Structure 1
Amino acid sequence: MIHILFIVCSLLTFSANAGVQDFCVADLKGPDTPAGYICKPAAKVTVDDFVSVGLRFSGNTSNIIKAAVTPAFVEQFPGVNGLGISIARLDLAVGGVVPMHTHPGASELLLVTQGFITAGFISSANSVYVKTLQKGDIMLFPQGLLHFQVNAGGVSSVAYASFSSATPGLQILDFALFANNLPSKLVEGTTFLDDATVKKLKAVLGGTG
């Protein structure tokens, strides 16, 4: 009986450990595939692959939207490769806004740590969910849905956004429409905006056509 128990325990231990891979730190020199980056050789992995200090610092909000997003996605933080998590810092100056955008690859959880932020998203049924958040509040934005954040106070605001993917992706609606070479006539026809408005927005955001 003792021999049988020993064999069973040995088999269970082998089965439990056979398929275990603790982590897959991204080899950023390799290709970025739908399954993520290939793994850096274990012998070259260091503790710094699992630590990021980039979110200590405020982003530069001297831009048209008066906002900055500092990501810690797989390209900046190789340790998250394959783990289905990542994070970013959001800085909003007074009057700052993160325009309507989507993350095709992840849901987002926003935690406000300073100031006041009005945030919201639009469902696929065009229902609108908006709330003004303050320090300590969190809000969820489901994957792929249009959402936004706006500074809602007279002071700079800071928040941290965590994502359910190491590569959440980003598409900003305004830039998708007006910051490329999509012909103005097509933009006008698909948005019902007049020619003058489309040309003005293209000029502001660097688009052509």
Structure 2
Amino acid sequence: MSLALTVLFFGLFHSYVTLASDPDPVNDFCVLNRSSATTSLPCKNSSLVTVEDFVFSGIKFRGKFSETGLASIPSNVNVFPGLNTLGMSMVRADFDVGGVNVPHSHPRATEIAVVLEGKIYSGFVDTQNRIFAKVIEKGEVMVFPRGLVHFQMNVGDTWATILGSFDSQNPGLQKIPSAVFGSNIKEELLEKAFGLTPKEIAKLRKRFAPHRL
């Protein structure tokens, strides 16, 4: 390979890697300025920053269980301003007995999750539709590659808790059932894609309507 081609290859590779994660910070920190009306995530004046900007207590206690038996509390830049520009965030997820975290994906982040309590059937599906899943227990960790559909279910006899970490300050969340049946995709397409009747689709749309999320 010539020197010119080598330089071009590494330049393109570097650009790909750079675009695959949140931008690197250019300051020590950039606490999100909540008082600003702009959408450019401006920094809070550094002279006004305190230690409280870097502490978040929202995941100390379990949240309220949803209909699927999941209580999920995110700790991202939207609720924790000190994370701004740092390229990371977390989530606490508690599961009632039999509780489920429905198939979903995080379009902007890889996730790594550790089981704090209980037994969780946990896994993901790759783009070849291969499933990688097993029951993980307290102290075990599993990683979910960026953008791939993944899921969890409490298979133990007591409540369970996991703590997830992301390589993005705002990883995003797209729940597959809600994305398909909670949106305005044409009914005819859903009928052909899933082999469902209009009555069945109406029932699913009612269940996953945006106001229920």
Aligned to 2:176: 173
AA at the equivalent of 2:52? D
Alignment equivalent of 1:140, drawn from 139, 143, 153: 143
Alignment equivalent of 1:112, drawn from 102, 111, 115: 115
Aligned to 1:58: 62
SS at match of 2:59: helix
Cα distance, 1:32 vs structure 2: 3.7
Q: How many angstroms apart in 2 are the aligned matches of 1:129 and 1:105?
A: 21
How many matched pairs?
186
Aligned to 1:71: 74
SS at match of 1:154: coil
Indicate conservation of the 8 Å contact 1:118/1:132, yes or no: yes
Cα distance, 1:184 vs structure 2: 2.1
Percent identity between the aligned chains? 38
Indicate conservation of the 8 Å contact 1:28/1:75, yes or no: no
Alignment equivalent of 1:188, drawn from 182, 191, 194: 191
Aligned to 1:157: 160
Aligned to 1:82: 85
Superposed CA RMSD: 1.8
The alignment's TM-score, normalised by the length of structure 1, stands at 0.83
5+ residue gaps in structure 2?
Answer: 1-24
Alignment equivalent of 1:22, drawn from 14, 20, 28: 28
Cα distance, 1:108 vs structure 2: 0.2
Aligned to 2:128: 125
- Could you give the per-residue CA deviations for residues 151-206 of structure 1, whole angstroms, max 9, x where no partner exists? 11121110100000000001000001112333322222233333333222112223
AA at the equivalent of 2:128? A
Q: How many angstroms apart in 1 are the aligned matches of 2:128 and 2:46?
A: 47
Aligned to 1:49: 53
5+ residue gaps in structure 1?
Answer: 1-18
SS at match of 2:32: coil
Cα distance, 1:20 vs structure 2: 5.9
AA at the equivalent of 1:138? V
SS at match of 1:55: coil
Q: How many angstroms apart in 2 are the aligned matches of 1:91 and 1:113?
A: 10
- Could you give the per-residue CA deviations for residues 84-109 of structure 1, whole angstroms, max 9, x where no partner exists? 11001001111211111010000000
Larger-Rg structure: 1
Cα distance, 1:48 vs structure 2: 0.7
Aligned to 1:12: none
Q: Structure 1 residues 122, 20: closer, same or farther in 2, change over 3 A?
A: closer
